[in-house]
Structure 1
Amino acid sequence: MKLVVVSAGLSVPSSTRLLGDRLAAAASAGGGVEVQVVELRDLAVEIAHNLTTGFPGPALDAALSAVAGADGLIVVTPVFSASYSGLFKSFFDVLDRDALAGKPVLVAATGGSARHSLVLEHAMRPLFAYLRAVVVPTGVYAASEDWGAEGLAERIGRAAGELAALMGGAAAGAGRGEGVAVRVGEFEVVPFAEQLAALRAP
């Protein structure tokens, strides 16, 4: 299985990238997962050109293909003005609108204050729901004071476990040419096609 991390961190080193790396390590701990990282800071110029011309450059095209071909995504953004960064949003604006349909996605964000933690629910989750992705129940927000404090490692482990479970279910369904229901903690994620078939059944 292939897991792609999309990091919108701007600095080097970046706490956004660090959070993405920790989530990826936890999600791939069981083995059998290839991890690829897409650093949006390196694609900023090509993203801007794509928005104005409609055509991606070579590096952006490779990144878009990697995201579209992934079995699961971890998407991480720094918080600017109480929302995801413009660079983060611009990347998903140029992605094909059907590329994330049915794809498991773990949303995460970093910020200077815990006051911005609701960005996961009021900005990121609606964005990926609109793109028809399957967003894992647990999102991860890391404020400056969270690094090294209790609780972050537990949230990372829980979210990564949910993503790994969904990726495994999606891969099993793909092997049979269909979706399968996956239990994630207290939740059961049932593919839309299966729900629709149940409604149509006599």
Structure 2
Amino acid sequence: MRIASGKSYDQVIPWGSHPLTDPLWSSEGVRVIHDGADAPRGGKIARIAHEPLVHEHLRVCWEQFDQENCGSCVNCTRTRLYFELTGAGHRLRTFPGHITLHRLLDNGFRDVNEVLNMRHLADALLANATTRAYGSIIDARVRFINRRHPNPGGTPLPAPDRRDRLALRLARRRARMLEQRQPLPHRPDA
């Protein structure tokens, strides 16, 4: 049995599945393998980004269970942004409309694991000219949260206070303006 890794070896944190503990679930009849920790999320997406079957059938949404992804939840937005980094974002057929950051900004920063995911995404987006502006918005939100809660102790972050809510409103306004000026997915021929 293979358990798909959610993190690469250099990003591993205590979380549901771990490359050192997953094999301990093995028995005489079943071998458990922690698979895919050799690459981060962006690397895994880069491996499949130009496959036509992926463009037609990729499902990542946990909020909508009919034929397509919702296109705007944290998982959908993060996946779409990683596809943009590969230049294949415009080929995805299972995501409606343009990428919107507001739900990612609202819901993508609720615990330490999500902030770590957003840090890696922001770094990747900042390194790409097409997605740099999107990366700067996510990066600013990550830096704000890390300044406000440098050692959150447990996994969940504290409930947002007035200052957090104000910063989030400003980030959302900045994101809406960017989405109007520079919508993604970016079509290379446009």
Q: Same fold (TM over 0.5)?
A: no
Taking structure 1 as the reference length, the TM-score comes to: 0.31
TM-score by length of 2: 0.33
Where is the strand percentage greater, Structure 1 or Structure 2? 1
The structure with higher relative contact order (CA 8 Å, sep 6+) is: 1
